[in-house]
């Protein structure tokens, strides 16, 4: 008997599954990007706005809490290591919050909240025959379901990432100032003075890439669900796990590409 | 015109019939499966193994998938379950196709929707309550009524009803049927097709022709 982990059939299926996933994501993304003009149609715009509300606005409360706590922890750690060194603190805050934690933690929160919700919603619609109902009404499911979700989730990830970075920096410095480690205004001015176009570009690239991947992966897993009672939780779990893995891999690749 | 030319798939074997412009037809079968399969074939979501389905002079399965979907704006489908979108309220479901295709803005449709619901026995207050509900909160009658009015708002050339009266009480079934038959005559050349299991409810539907499918 071949051990399960080394079973060639199992390995082959995983590899084919990965190819299917990459092809599926590519198709969904290229279709959505080509069809962005559809957002001008009122019913599609309505889905787009709802997606921004669920993914962006409703994520603000947990993002505020996580960003505040992250900012406080990071400034406390830096000042405990480097003392009251405004320049060094600003550099480390920039490296940690703007380059890494902002995009990554935002992506994780959105994966936890919206990826599972989107995948299970689409899987439920598919199982209940609602995708076919849309076709019967002359509505392309890709246009009505996928395009506004990909656009809405991506835009939400970009704006929430920016919000996370601002909150973490301001709250981190506010805490450091409150306990007397660092002066608030001087510290903020320090970070603004070293903020380069490259930092903004890296952060924005990561947010755009993560947003596109999270949205398309969630739609992919939702739309490939088969008619079975277990399909909905499988779609949700599959989307979350694949998203987490992909986001970490892409984070590594982007960081390497920009800074090494 | 709607025509089935030797269509075979699943339990359907070489089904052929034609419904001329401006007429109505009742397609009967003893098997509920056959009716479901027939509806799926008519709605463009199940390609038959062989044969052709013609609607409004188009062989619908000869159309490329991207052309087939927009073609269905001309065809009104009323599924047995209503075919409503579960995350939209009844009102949003009602106006979705007409709003999407730009045939009628929601504000313009309000008056007609209200009039149609009144004909179906609803007061204005009941309509307001109904419009705020999600599909899972609606009764079988309400779901089919919403689906029918949704189709009516698109002013289709062909209307296909799946088991329209099945499982409804006589009064509710009578109202739906009256609405369907009145709508049929509002546009010259419109085709109405009722797919029905052979039951007592089907006998109430009066059409220009009846086709009975053999097992």
The answer to whether B71 faces chain A, any CB pair under 8 Å, is yes
CA atoms within 13 A on the CB side of B211: 17
Contact status of B86 with chain A (Cβ, < 8 Å) = yes
Q: Hey, how many other C-beta atoms are within 10 angstroms of the C-beta on B47?
A: 13
B97 touches chain A (CB under 8 A): yes
Mutate one of B82, B83, B91, B93 to test the A interface: name it (highest A CB count within 10 A). Answer: B83
Determine whether the interchain pair A135/B72 forms a contact, defined as Cβ–Cβ distance below 8 Å. yes
Torsion of CA A28, A30, A34, A36, to 10 degrees: 50
According to DSSP H, which parts of A97-227 are helical? 102-110, 116-127, 130-136, 141, 147-178, 184-194, 197-223
The pLDDT value recorded for residue B104 is 86
Residue A6 has pLDDT above 80, yes or no: no
Mean pLDDT (whole number) for B2-11: 94
Cβ neighbours, 10 Å, residue A179: 11
ipTM of this complex > 0.95? Answer: no
Check whether B103 has a pLDDT greater than 70: yes
Count of Cβ atoms closer than 10 Å to residue B158 Cβ: 21
Cβ–Cβ gap B43/A132 under 8 Å: yes
Confidence of residue A237 (pLDDT cuts 50, 70, 90): very high
Q: How confident is the model at residue A180 (pLDDT cuts 50, 70, 90)?
A: confident
How far is Cα A45 from Cα A148, in angstroms, rounded to an integer?
A: 7
**Which token pair is A19?**
């190819």
Cβ contacts (< 8 Å) between A136 and chain B: which residues? 43-45, 72, 75, 77, 79, 83
Query: Of the candidates A44, A132, A138, which has its C-beta nearest B45's C-beta?
Result: A132
Is the pLDDT score of A4 beyond 80? no
pLDDT, chain A, mean: 93
Q: Mean pLDDT throughout A80-104?
A: 91
What's the rounded Cα separation, in Å, for the pair A138 and A208? 32
Torsion sign across C-alpha atoms B165, B167, B170, B172 = negative
The residue count of chain A comes to: 260
What is the arithmetic mean of pLDDT over A226-253?
A: 94
What would the pLDDT profile of A17-66 be if each residue is shown by its tens digit? 889 999 999 999 999 999 999 999 999 999 999 999 999 999 999 999 99
**Bridge partner list, B195:** B27, B162
- Neighbouring C-alpha atoms within 13 Å toward the C-beta of B212: 6
In this structure, the number of other CB atoms found within 10 A of the CB of residue B127 comes to: 18
Position A83 confidence tier, pLDDT thresholds 50, 70, 90: confident
Instruction: Compute φ and ψ for A191, nearest 5 degrees.
Output: -70, -35
pLDDT in tens, A194-207: 999 988 999 999 99
Across B38-46, average pLDDT: 94
DSSP secondary structure string for all residues of B9-75: ETTEEEEEEEE-TT-EEEEEES-HHHHHHHHHHHTTSS--SEEEEEETTEEGGGS-HHHHHHHGGGE
Does residue B116 have a pLDDT over 80?
yes
Total-model pTM: 0.90
- When pLDDT is averaged across residues B189-201 and rounded to a whole number, the result is 92
> CA-CA distance, A217 to A82, in Å (whole number)?
41
Q: What is the average per-residue pLDDT within A124-142?
A: 95
Q: Is the pLDDT of residue B113 over 80?
A: yes
Share of chain B above pLDDT 70, in %: 100
pLDDT of B203 higher than 80 = yes
What is the rounded CA–CA span in Å between residue B23 and residue A42? 36
């Amino acid at each position: 008997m071949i051990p399960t982990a080394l079973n060639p059939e199992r390995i082959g299926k995983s590899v084919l599954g990965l190819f299917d996933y990459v092809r599926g994501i590519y198709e969904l993304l290229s279709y959505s990007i080509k069809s962005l003009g559809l957002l001008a149609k009122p019913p599609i715009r309505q889905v787009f706005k709802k997606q921004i509300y669920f993914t962006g606005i409703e994520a603000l409360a947990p993002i505020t809490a996580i960003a505040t706590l992250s900012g406080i922890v990071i400034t406390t750690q830096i000042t405990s290591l480097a003392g009251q060194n405004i320049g060094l603190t600003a550099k480390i805050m920039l490296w940690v919050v703007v380059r890494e934690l902002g995009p990554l933690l935002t992506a994780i929160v959105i994966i936890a909240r919206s990826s599972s919700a989107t995948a299970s919603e689409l899987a439920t619609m598919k199982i209940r025959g609602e995708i076919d109902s849309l076709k019967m009404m002359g509505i392309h499911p890709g246009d009505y379901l996928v395009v506004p979700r990909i656009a809405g989730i991506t835009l939400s990830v970009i704006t929430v990432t920016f919000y996370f970075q601002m909150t973490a920096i301001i709250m981190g410095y506010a805490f450091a100032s409150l306990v007397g480690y660092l002066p608030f205004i001087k510290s903020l001015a320090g970070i603004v003075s070293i903020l380069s176009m490259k930092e903004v570009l890296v952060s924005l690239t990561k947010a755009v890439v993560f947003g596109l991947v999270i949205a398309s992966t969630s739609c992919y897993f939702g739309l490939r669900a088969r008619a079975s009672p277990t399909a909905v939780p499988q779609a949700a779990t599959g989307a979350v796990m694949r998203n987490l893995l992909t986001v970490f891999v892409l984070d590594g690749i982007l960081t390497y590409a920009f800074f090494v | 015109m709607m025509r089935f030319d030797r269509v075979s798939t699943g339990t359907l074997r070489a089904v052929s019939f034609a419904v001329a412009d401006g007429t109505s037809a009742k397609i009967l079968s003893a098997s509920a499966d056959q009716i479901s399969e027939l509806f799926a074939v008519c709605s463009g979501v199940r390609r038959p193994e062989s044969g052709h389905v013609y609607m409004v002079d188009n062989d619908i399965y000869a159309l490329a998938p991207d052309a087939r979907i927009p073609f269905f704006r001309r065809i009104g489908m009323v599924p047995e379950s209503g075919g409503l979108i579960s995350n939209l309220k009844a009102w949003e479901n009602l106006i979705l196709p007409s709003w999407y295709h730009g045939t009628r803005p929601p504000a313009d449709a309000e008056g007609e929707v209200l009039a149609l619901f009144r004909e179906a026995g609803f007061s204005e207050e009941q309509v307001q309550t109904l419009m705020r509900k999600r599909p899972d909160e609606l009764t079988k009658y309400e779901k089919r009524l919403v689906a029918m009015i949704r189709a009516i708002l698109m002013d289709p050339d062909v209307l296909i009803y799946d088991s329209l009266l099945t499982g409804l009480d006589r009064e509710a079934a009578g109202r739906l049927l009256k609405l369907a038959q009145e709508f049929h005559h509002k546009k010259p050349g419109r085709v109405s097709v009722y797919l029905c299991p052979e039951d007592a409810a089907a006998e109430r539907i009066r059409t220009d022709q009846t086709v009975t499918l053999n097992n």
